[in-house]
A and B are shown apart, each in its own frame.
Chain A
Amino acid sequence: MPPGSWRAFAPARHAALGFSEHAAPSLVFVLTGVVLGPELLDVLSVNLLAQFDPAVSVTLAVLGIFVGSGLSAAASHGRVTFWWVTGATLQGLITFGTVAAAMYLLLHQWGLPLPVDPLTGAAVLGLCSTVSAAVRETGSGTASNAARIADFDDLLLVALGAFAVAWLAGWSSLVVVVGLTLVAGVVIAVAGAALLAFSGTAPERSVFVTGTVFLLGGAAAYTGTSPLVSGCVAGLLWARMQRSVTALVDSDLKKLQHPLVVILLIIAGASIQFTYQLLWLAAPLVLFRLTGKLIGSLVTARLFGLPAGLLATYLAPPGLLGIALALNIQQVLSTGDTLLVSAVTASTVAAELLALVLVIFQPLALSSVEAA
């Protein structure tokens, strides 16, 4: 292993546990939520948690904006981006298929009391498992390509998540309602950008950004679809507008992002119900997700000429979008049974810990192989 090769793994290692400079330390906040939640101190009671529903929608919209703007920024690379997206979607679909199929078999066999039927439950768990943590890796080397594939697997979750949420909300004409959310996203994004371009003071600008994000999250929540979609549309549009508008949105959104993500993680932690079913659901979920990601890495790495081990270290840390989508689905299900969101949250934390172990030992293994 040449000197400096360790650097290639640094971003993946930082992404694990969310302890990167751009993400919240998820483990800490999830545990805070567990302590404050109804299972322990009950400071965040069930009724109080329900009042935080708008915060979940708004956080999803903000995360969607970042997905959209990231995609828009990458689109400047043209054909290369297409391949990244294809690779990310392929490994995401493999993970989705692996987790959903395996979980369906288990759920069907065990007959666990889920708030939805076993097929839907397995599909939801599979979808929430597809996403990997975002990695800030610039440049054009092998590590950078692997990082891009990890970054773009959000798109699959956003697209499928939109239909999943609308379907679970009870909509019969899914295309119409997702279309309505897309149109709402476009209208709000254009109006918001126009207001920002002519905003006066910094507090006024801050109100417009906050209001626009609430509208994006609120409109999707109102129609019973995923705010990730309306946010993603807005992110795509804003990234292509005047540079001044993009910069303003970006700077104000970053101030909103941190507290919102913290709230989301605390809510996720507080929503965990500790039952035997949770253990039976979360443990296999971690295992199946890791299996799915490893298979996905093998296939994708072969197609794109990347080292499979390297790609796997980037794909292993699960990130926050899975938890966000699980909370979104919990909202539309409107049930007190939080087994699904509990399983996704617990498995995300466990998978992050596992990913940390992987990214620490994987370079050591590589170097020992090279030395031998």
Chain B
Amino acid sequence: MTLFARSRAAVRGGAFLAIVGLMVVLQRAVPADAISEYRTTGLALGFALVAATLVGNLADTFRLPRLSGYLIFGLACGPYVANLLTPVMARQLQLVNGLAITLIALVAGLEINIVRMRRRLGPMMAFGSVTILSVFVGLLTLFVIAWPWLPIAPDATGLQRLALPVVLTTLVVSFSPTVTIAVMAESRARGPLSELVLTVVILADLALILFFTLAMQFARSVSGVVPADDISLLTRLFWEVAGSLAYGTLLGSLFALYLRLIGREITVVLLALCVLVTGTSALLHFEALLVALAAGLAVENIAPFQGDALHDAVERGALPLLVVFFVAAGANLNLHALAELGWLALALSGLRLVGLWLGACAGRRVARLDTSETAAAWTGLVAQAGVTFGLAGIVATEFRDWGMKVQTLVVAIGALNVLIGPMLFRAALVQAGEIGRLDSASPVPTESSVRVPNG
């Protein structure tokens, strides 16, 4: 270790302790529950940004993803452990979640060049479809068989005995495109593995919307909540998916036009675009992730922006949002759920991992993507986060009796997966030699590294 590195480590350690000490003193002087919600937000954001970045740097020295550092920091300082980030602060940090998800999806869209990927798109989609279906069918079979022993609704009979496992399977299988894309963005990764995983997680997100809507409709119909209405269901799905893509393309085209004609204050306009996407998507019942992805795709594929200004703006805007997003995820991880269902969650999480690995093996064989770089593609599908927890929340709200139990179990499984997912995926990216390739001048590996089936 050089003198500079040693000095830097000492200074960073000192600064970290000073800021943590300040938080303790402030909370002793003014109890957090004695003041209004919004007065805590600035302090929580500042603490998360500075201290979590330092923990992320520490994680990097241990060859772990920085994101895991942010998550662990959130978990350690959150309400369930040190309580430096009180429950109110943890909730306040989630204010940036929508913005972070939008920006991350926009970044993903900006990385996808359809012309460049056109020839590999077929095999990638085949791989994704087979993998997702394999895991889904495998876990559904398991849940149907093991249902009487699961602590959800063991007495369920008839069609309910099938509908409830379908809902649970959809949630357990679900992935976190946000976390996976964030790992790639943070690692500046590019290459066949990154491109394959990026395509699959986006496909998985679309599939998840479809599966979840169908599963919920099935559960509603067998529970007698709302009669199944195929037309409204299809219309809603079409509106959500096609509408999101169209709306995103429109916004992306306008942004591309702004970049071309004005091209100033790009960071501010980019963040404003993210705010617009987040705010209006909820109002219009669109999927914000898809809208942002389509916007990014439009910018990259319709009117690509020359120069470094957009890249710099994205980098400048993305890092603070990523830090806060993952700290919030860590601070809001429900450790009570994990403590309550620890062993079961661990077992199911393990089974999910095995399912993903087997599914990916089958997928690679079907799609004939049998290169060494893509062997670890399943690791990009391990992480679960906001989307999974959000959908579990919907289930809990709609079906209060068994839905709450599903939510507890899914949150416990998700808590494990969000911790191990980024670590596994980053290790795979390191193994594939794709870390930092986005910054290097080397051309993107294309046909040579991903074998395309003939005909």
Question: Which A residues have a C-beta under 8 Å from some C-beta of B?
Answer: 50-51, 53-54, 57-58, 180, 184, 187-188, 190-192, 194-195, 197-198, 202-204, 206-208, 210-219, 221-224, 255, 258-259, 331, 334
Contact = CB atoms under 8 A, between A and B. Distances in A.
Question: Quick one: which of B7, B15, B35, B268 has the most chain A CB within 10 A?
Answer: B15
Given A51-B95, A180-B29, A255-B267, A57 B42 contact: yes
B96 to A, nearest CB: 11
Contacts of B48: 211
B45 A223 contact: no
B40 interface: yes
A180 B22 CA distance: 10
B15 A206 contact: no
B409 to A, nearest CB: 33
Contacts of A214: 42-43, 45-46, 49
Interface in B258-292: 265, 267-268, 271
Contacts of B42: 53-54, 57-58, 214-215, 217-219, 221-222
A224 B34 CA distance: 11
Contact of B35 (A215, A222, A259): A222
Nearest to B40: A222
Given A50-B38, A221-B39, 9 more contacts: A190-B18, A206-B320, A207-B53, A208-B50, A211-B50, A211-B53, A218-B46, A219-B43, A222-B42
B50 A215 contact: yes
B7 A198 contact: yes
Contacts of A212: 46, 50
A210 B49 CA distance: 8
B50 A54 contact: no
5 contacts: A51-B38, A187-B21, A188-B19, A211-B47, A255-B267
A346 B40 CA distance: 29
Contacts of B26: 180, 184, 219, 222-223
Interface in B120-142: none
Interface string B38-66: 11111111111110011000000000000
Nearest to B51: A211
Contacts of A194: 11, 14-15
B315 interface: yes
B44 A204 contact: no
Q: Do most interface residues of chain A lie in helix, strand or loop, or is the interface mixed?
A: helix
A202 B320 CA distance: 12
B120 to A, nearest CB: 30
A207 B319 contact: yes
A329 B35 CA distance: 15
Contacts of B318: 203
A175 B320 CA distance: 35
A258 B11 CA distance: 31
Contacts of A217: 42, 46
B44 A218 contact: yes
Q: Which of A187, A191, A195, A222 has the most CB of B within 10 A?
A: A222
B1 to A, nearest CB: 14
A103 to B, nearest CB: 28
B49 A207 contact: yes
A229 B265 CA distance: 29
B8 interface: yes
A208 B18 contact: no
B193 to A, nearest CB: 24
Nearest to B29: A180
Given A184-B22, A215-B19, A258 B53 contact: no
Contacts of A223: 26, 29-30
Nearest to B268: A259
Given A187-B18, A188-B22, A195-B15, A53 B41 contact: yes
B36 interface: yes
B50 A192 contact: yes
A210 B268 contact: no
